Structure 1
Amino acid sequence: MNKVLFLLLVCAVGSAMSKMGMTFIKTAHDSRFGIDNFSCHAPAGFDGVKSCNAYTGDTDCETSLPVLCVNIDNSPRPAYPITDPGCTSCAMPYWFYFGWGRGNVASTTPVKASQFQTRQDIDAFCASTFGTGWKVESWNEMSKWISGMGGVDGLKYSGSEWTANADKMQSGGWGFFAYGNVRNDIRLWMHGPLDQSSTCWAH
């Protein structure tokens, strides 16, 4: 084997071993509504990956982490408060980052993401763990928002008003709320954006 071919093989093996996937983390639980808040960014003091990478992944696929699974039943948004955080560098309206997940979430026992070959494989893992209708949480499906929703009392576009204004909903990103109460001491595997390479398994 010549030296150039050997180096190419070493690089290929190294690249395969370093495949990265995207993760989120639970940042808070609101017991009034039984909901969790999830974010790309870890809360202060978290000992581990601080932020997700939705473009190329942030965590080695050989790492054992829980899978964040979701059952979207189109539940109306509860009246959790959303106020302008005053972000001067945000690319989107602030509601975009506090969208509603439209259902329930749960986390599995830790597993290596590399064991899943396709999206269908990991969806089946969620379904076998929690039941029919459960699948891996996905960036492209994780939340919806309506301009002006929330407020200090959280009421605007909640409950029946949320459902009645389905035509105004837009897809959110980087953070969301959903019914559940999962662990908050570890990051969670998610399905990354469809047009990016941040997922351990095939889209």
Structure 2
Amino acid sequence: MTWGKISHGAVPGVDEVGCSVGSFYCNAYTGDTSCMTSLPILCVKLDGSPKPSGLYTDFYNGWVGGNIATTQPVPGTWLTSQAAADQLCASYFGAGWQMAEFHHSGGGWDWYAYGNVRSDTKFWVRISDQPANCWNP
């Protein structure tokens, strides 16, 4: 499954990432991109960062409580498990970094975190309760 960057800077230093970006919509139920495609992984480090003042959140637009970054593009076929994806994030950014998840913290579909990830491509994310990951049969 893939997401994209929705916005940056409505609150300084904060990105909104999610399922609906311009004319692109993800498919959270079965996936939306061939696993043969090479895309960056959206990685997150959950460090308990407090929600910035002035940031409006709700059930569908939550605050993740951390920082995000993207890897270099990797084929979806490399994402053979959540552990493999998490290891790729940790190898790029260090201990505590993991593949971003659809249902992080305060909501799903879209959420906010500190960062400024690229906006020129979609990126791989995982979902815990649907067969939309490249490692699902």
TM-score (norm 2): 0.92
In our comparison, the structure showing a higher alpha carbon Rg is: 1
* Mapped pair 1:72 → 2:46: yes
Give the aligned partner of residue 123 of structure 2: 188
Q: CA deviation at 1:61?
A: 0.7
Q: How does 1:20-59 map to 2 (within 5 A)?
A: 22-30=1-9, 32-43=11-22, 50-59=24-33
* Counterpart Cα distance in 2 of 1:105 and 1:187: 14
Q: Secondary structure at the match of 1:101?
A: strand
* Distance verdict in 2 for CA 1:59–1:80, change over 3 Å: farther
Which of 110, 117, 122 is equivalent to 2:85?
A: 122
Q: CA deviation at 1:139?
A: 1.6
* Counterpart Cα distance in 2 of 1:38 and 1:117: 23
Q: Secondary structure at the match of 1:78?
A: coil
Aligned residues with identical type, % of pairs: 45
Q: CA deviation at 1:143?
A: 3.2
* Mapped pair 1:197 → 2:131: yes
Q: Secondary structure at the match of 1:27?
A: strand
* Counterpart Cα distance in 1 of 2:135 and 2:102: 14
Q: Where has structure 1 moved over 6 Å in runs of 4 or more?
A: none
Amino acid at match of 1:59: T
Q: Secondary structure at the match of 2:63?
A: strand
Runs of 5+ in structure 2 lacking a partner? Answer: none
Q: How does 1:1-203 map to 2 (within 5 A)?
A: 22-30=1-9, 32-43=11-22, 50-82=24-56, 95-140=58-103, 142-144=104-106, 172-192=107-127, 194-202=128-136
TM-score (norm 1): 0.63
* Counterpart Cα distance in 1 of 2:72 and 2:102: 21
Q: In proportion to residue count, which structure has more helix?
A: 1
Q: CA deviation at 1:25?
A: 0.5
Pairwise CA RMSD: 1.5
* Distance verdict in 2 for CA 1:80–1:39, change over 3 Å: farther
